[in-house]
Structure 1
Amino acid sequence: MIPFNLQLILIISNILLLIFLLNNIRKYKLELKYTLLWLGLILITFILSIFPSVLNFISSNIYIETPVNALFLIAFAVVFTILYRFTVIISNLTNQTKKLTQELGLLRNELNASLLKKGSKD
């Protein structure tokens, strides 16, 4: 069983995190597609903190001694998933930036070459 103090801390922190995320979405500081994973994490931990019997079931089925450890394992797995997803997004953005930089260099080269041709005709 999860101690009531921890249960209360989880519920309050989930509510505060939800308010923080929604506020950042409202102010256009975060895109909705990137916050969906965080909203999923909030939902999972909120459900697990309200219904600790689910944690008892999970911890007994995967042979974890205390439900609190199962909660930390689940949180770690979800945060790891979020971290991996953002790593993939950053890698894609890095590749796009490199491609755009190369295209910009080629366009500048073509522009300089056309300006030199035009300058030599005059």
Structure 2
Amino acid sequence: MNVTLRIFLAVAILFFLVSIINLLRKRKLDLKYSLIWLFSGLILFLMVLFPEIVYKLSYFVGIETPVNVVYVVEAMFVLLILLSLTTIISSLNAKNRETIQALAILEKRIRDLEDSTKKLMY
């Protein structure tokens, strides 16, 4: 891996990690959702610091250009993050549906109580 590329990637990954930590510090991002982001950044940073990992992985997988291994690994992390976010959204969607149903039941009970109190008054 080219030294210039390694320096550029290291700076970009450090900027990425600092941004994630800053979002955590400002409480704009929950820790449980940011762990995958932090893990992917650390793995990529290790790959930049120790390019032997990239060379061995490219040989093992059969990719001719070791730099492409970095892109493949990052694409895998992006897919993992997308899967994680999809499961989070699905869970929130189910909770939202349950909340809406509970609210509808409560509104119906309130209307029924209001109707029954009106009948008692007259």
Q: Same fold (TM over 0.5)?
A: yes
- Match for 1:45: what amino acid? L
User: Which residues of structure 1 form unaligned runs of 5+?
Assistant: none
Q: Under a length normalisation based on structure 1, what TM-score does the superposition of the two structures give?
A: 0.97
- Match for 1:24: what amino acid? L
User: Which residues of structure 2 form unaligned runs of 5+?
Assistant: none
Q: Secondary structure at the match of 1:30?
A: coil
Q: CA RMSD in A?
A: 0.7
Alpha-carbon shift at residue 78 of structure 1 (Å):
1.0
- Match for 1:66: what amino acid? T
Q: Under a length normalisation based on structure 2, what TM-score does the superposition of the two structures give?
A: 0.97
- Match for 2:43: what amino acid? I
| Counterpart residue number, 1:96 | 95
Matched, 1:64 2:90: no
Give distance in 2, aligned partners of 1:9 and 1:63. Answer: 25
Higher relative contact order (CA 8 A, sep 6+): 1
Instruction: Say how many residue pairs are matched.
Output: 121
Alpha-carbon shift at residue 31 of structure 1 (Å):
0.4
| Counterpart residue number, 1:13 | 12
| Counterpart residue number, 2:47 | 48
